[in-house]
A = this chain, B = another copy of it.
Amino acid sequence: MPIYQAPIRDYQFILGELLNIYQQDHLTGFDEFDPELIDTVLQGVADFTTDIMLPLNGSGDIEGCRLQDGKVVTPKGFIEAYQQYVDNGWATLTCDPEFGGQGLPEVVGVFATEMKTSTNMAFAMYPGLTHGAYAAIHAHGSDELKAKYLEKLVSGEWTGTMNLTESHAGTDLALLRTKAVPASEGSFAITGEKIFISSGDHDLTDNIVHLVLARLPDAPEGVKGISLFVVPKVLINDDGSLGELNSLYAASLEHKMGIHGNSTCVMNFDGAIGELVGEPHQGLRAMFTMMNQARLGVGVQGLGVSEIAYQNALAYAKDRIQGRALSGVKQAAQAADSILVHGDVRRMLLSQKAFNEGTRALMGQQALWLDEAERHSSPEQAKAASKLAALFTPIVKGFVTDQGFKACVDAQQVFGGHGYIHEWGMEQFVRDSRIAMIYEGTNGVQALDLVGRKILSDKAQTLQLWSEQVKLLIQRNMGNDAMKPYIAGLMDAAGDLEKATGYIAENAAKNPDIIGAASMAYMQILGITALGWMWTRIAEKALHQLAEGAEEKAFYQDKLKTAEFYMGYWAVQTRSLRKQIQAASAEIVAFEDSAF
């Protein structure tokens, strides 16, 4: 069975040292958090995920979910584990205290999510989707709806789902056909079929709260005619008790490449009773206000699976003996050296490590921006943070899940043939992490959102805002020789980013299709540069701590070495990506359909 060690020290470094969250008293509620409290929470999640969730990951994958007499049965052990999850209060961490939540910030919640995903991505999706439903009702529901649903969703007594996709309407929700017609007492009858519904039905809870996109009878065509409804699996009586079954059911389970422990359903709504969330025809807008958070959640899946894959690949590389180092025998007492001596094994592991740690810091920064957007005492700062979070949403989702998947493939590769069989668990990580590149908007859609909306429509103002932070970081370290390798790498990447932005801005006006053709390479450039920014900040902080006489010298020195590797291996990738944009975008657009 795969091992897992929650990266608690890294969380402490990011929260307490890099992002200084204990000195952010201008963020409402942050004065209540201290390292002791946060450490206790994170250690609690670490213990739960390692002891309870991890042992169910492999078995849940092999057993999968099944549809029995019209009801979904989850893998063995999931019911008990979920009950314990609820009893321990892990569902409530970042929720509103008014409804039973603990009010912890996103910057803490994001790391709880990482640990859950590392240990059991399929299981983590049940509470993960619940959080989406909670957030939708919390942000857009009436007081009545909030009273009816939120406490149960916060506690985890009920779970939630998001019903968007139909077989012909995925990225393009304008095409969706599910109908909502007025029924008794202000309610609506929902009819239609939804596919790919994560956690759509299961046996973990007595009720499931479906958030469903549908069209009202008077709806305009396209995305401006979509409304959001809350549709419970079991109807709720006026006294809050459970009533009759609603007219909806899981028609089938999707047969997927991975995340077998999660019940991905085709859902049929057959005149199911639901209530409107927010205004009529404003459903898509309501959904999209939660998008930054939801996409951060998917991005963290890219990190979480990559982290556990790395830990296992490293353990295997230390344990497995095979061949000898090119520079001569290293472990003479053994019949062969451990494969960690081999340069290409080291390369793969170091690439994963640099990606994981840099990404973890970026995830913290992104979550902190989301917290600032919600809690900052200055409305201007809150707005700036909100814009930065929006800019980096495609990065934390698209760039991170792309690279996280590749990291899992590399981790599997470290195992050789043993990586290809179930027993070691590595091939499951590859299969599971693959979905994160697809759902919550494919990574191609993320790239388009980045270049089209977040850069061009914004006239690059938010990019500029961030670039100024990068420049400040560079300027204040220019005179410091110890910072040279990091600054040089960051400047090179930032230079390519600037040139790529210029090329797109110049050519998109002439030919808008260039935007799509260039978008993926652009997203990778910004992602690599963003991690370069985080690694430079990490290096700056590590040098500071060492200068201050920190006791854990090795911890900070390792950060410096990893940062240096990042610049030599990862940051240099921007050069070719920028050349791709300049040399191939026009070719991609001009290539005739008949020539494919």
Contact = CB atoms under 8 A, between A and B. Distances in A.
Interface of A: 165, 169-172, 174-175, 195-196, 254-258, 314, 318, 321-323, 325-327, 335-336, 340-350, 353, 405, 409, 412-413, 416-423, 427, 430-431, 434-435, 437-439, 442-444, 447-448, 452, 511-520, 554, 557-558, 561-562, 564-565, 567-569, 572-577, 579-580, 583-585, 587-596
Contact of A596 (B172, B349, B568, B596): B349
A595 B344 contact: no
Given A438-B413, A579-B572, A595 B257 contact: no
B447 A420 contact: no
B576 A342 contact: no
Contacts of A437: 413
A517 B413 contact: no
Nearest to A441: B416
Contact of A422 (B256, B561, B572): B256
Contacts of A579: 572, 575
5 closest A-B pairs by CB: A343-B516, A568-B583, A343-B517, A568-B584, A576-B576
A345 B444 contact: yes
A156 to B, nearest CB: 27
What secondary structure prevails in chain A residues at the interface with B?
Answer: helix
B255 A423 contact: yes
B448 A344 contact: yes
A427 B418 CA distance: 20
A416 B431 contact: no
A447 B416 contact: no
A108 B218 CA distance: 64
A420 B435 contact: yes
Contact of A175 (B336, B435, B514, B587): B336
9 contacts: A170-B417, A255-B423, A257-B431, A326-B513, A345-B444, A353-B596, A416-B442, A417-B439, A419-B438
Given A326-B516, A417-B196, A580 B565 contact: no
B417 A512 contact: no
Contacts of A576: 572-577
A583 B554 contact: no
Residue with the highest number of chain B CB atoms closer than 10 Å, among A423, A444, A574, A593: A444
A95 B297 CA distance: 56
Contacts of A413: 437-438, 442-444
B591 A580 contact: no
A452 B554 CA distance: 34
A175 B334 CA distance: 11
B343 A518 contact: yes
A587 B575 contact: no
Given A255-B422, A422-B255, A583-B569, A416 B171 contact: yes
Given A421-B255, A513-B343, A517-B347, A170 B322 contact: yes
Contact of A584 (B195, B569, B592): B569
Contacts of A350: 587-588, 591, 596
Contacts of A418: 170
Contact of A572 (B175, B444, B580): B580
B584 A346 contact: no
Nearest to A352: B596
B420 A561 contact: no
A519 B343 contact: yes
Contacts of A345: 444, 516
Nearest to A167: B418
A588 B416 contact: no
Contacts of A346: 516-517, 588-589, 591
* Residue of A321, A344, A413, A591 contacting most chain B CB atoms (<10 Å): A344
A504 to B, nearest CB: 11
A573 B519 CA distance: 17
A4 to B, nearest CB: 16
Which of A175, A195, A341, A516 has most B Cβ within 10 Å? Answer: A516
Nearest to A310: B596
Contacts of A513: 325-327, 341, 343
